[in-house]
């Protein structure tokens, strides 16, 4: 992973920052592959999309193929407590699988309106946004960049940016399973403090 010189928002000096994590791109579920546990997006071209869903393996009924799809919170609960949950069957042609694309370079912000326009033929590519540039963090899917150049995903931010006891700007994150478990059990998740330059909204 390479980095670039980016002006520090407080001092104006150029500091080294790692490249952003890979973007999320949508691939039609009909293209095959294992679906169980995968993040998916459902919807209709020209109409709209719904995300934060997980899939199970396809089901064939008659001549049509369907994908069982459930809210991500239900999937995590079913996996953690080994219970069955209701999963509506969605026609496979209305399901897209979230994949990781190719890493871009530099920081990405909101951009102007024209640069944000997308086609309604498929779910839009989602480029990561630096935590420093995001309008809010709490509850959002985030990616932690690791010192060795890797990425840690399936995380949720549990705080906004704040100053740590050491004086660093950071936010606290939790594993996504623990984030969802918090809602059904009331048990607060274990959290990790991540420096702002290593944290991106997915």
Instruction: Give the pLDDT of the chain (202 residues) as one tens digit per residue.
Output: 344 444 444 444 445 567 899 999 999 999 989 999 999 999 999 999 999 999 999 999 999 999 999 999 999 999 999 999 999 999 999 999 999 998 765 444 556 788 788 889 999 999 999 999 999 999 999 999 998 889 999 999 999 999 999 999 999 999 999 999 999 999 999 999 999 999 999 9
Give the domain-ending residue among 100, 117, 144: 100
Indicate whether 145 and 82 sit together in one domain: no
Work out the end-to-end distance of the chain between its first and last CA atoms, rounded to an integer number of angstroms. Answer: 18
Query: Nearest Cα to 140, choosing from 101, 112, 98, 172?
Result: 172
Nearest Cα to Cα of residue 92 among 55, 46, 47? 55
Q: Is 164 part of a structural domain of the chain?
A: yes
What per-residue confidence (pLDDT) applies to 134?
95
Question: Do 158 and 200 share a domain, yes or no?
Answer: yes
In a domain, 121, yes or no: no
Residues 28, 95: one domain? yes
Task: Answer yes or no: is 83 within a domain.
Answer: yes
Strand partners, 60: 65
Tell whether 198 and 135 lie within a shared domain: yes
Assigned domain for 1 exists? no
Say if 14 falls within a structural domain: no
Residues 155 and 195 in one domain: yes
pLDDT at 192 (0 to 100): 97
Structural domains of the chain, count: 2
Check residue 116 and give its pLDDT. Answer: 82
Verify that 142 and 90 share a domain, yes or no.
Answer: no
- pLDDT score of 7: 44
- Domain match, 152 and 86 both: no
CA 40 to chain centre: 11
* Cα atoms in the 13 Å half-sphere on the side-chain side of 170: 14
Cα separations in angstroms, 76 against 80, 97, 123, 137, 182: 6, 17, 24, 21, 11
Domain span holding position 49:
24-100
């Amino acid at each position: 992973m390479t980095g670039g010189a980016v002006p520090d928002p407080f001092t104006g000096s150029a500091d080294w920052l790692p490249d952003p994590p890979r973007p999320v791109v949508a691939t039609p579920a009909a293209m095959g592959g294992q679906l169980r546990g995968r993040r998916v997006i459902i919807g209709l071209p020209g109409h709209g999309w719904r995300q934060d869903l997980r899939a199970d393996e396809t089901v064939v009924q008659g001549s049509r193929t369907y994908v069982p799809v459930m809210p991500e919170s239900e999937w995590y609960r079913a996996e953690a407590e080994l219970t069955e949950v209701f999963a509506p069957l969605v026609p496979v042609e209305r399901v897209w699988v979230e994949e990781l694309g190719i890493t871009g370079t530099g920081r990405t912000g909101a951009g102007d309106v024209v640069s944000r326009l997308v086609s309604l033929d498929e779910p839009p590519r989602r480029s990561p946004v630096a935590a420093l540039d995001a309008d809010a963090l709490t509850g959002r899917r985030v990616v932690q960049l690791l010192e060795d150049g890797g990425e840690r995903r399936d995380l949720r931010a549990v705080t906004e940016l704040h100053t740590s006891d050491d004086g660093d700007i950071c936010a606290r994150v939790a594993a996504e399973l623990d984030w969802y478990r918090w809602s059904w059990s009331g048990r607060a998740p274990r959290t990790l403090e991540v420096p702002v330059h290593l944290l991106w909204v997915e």
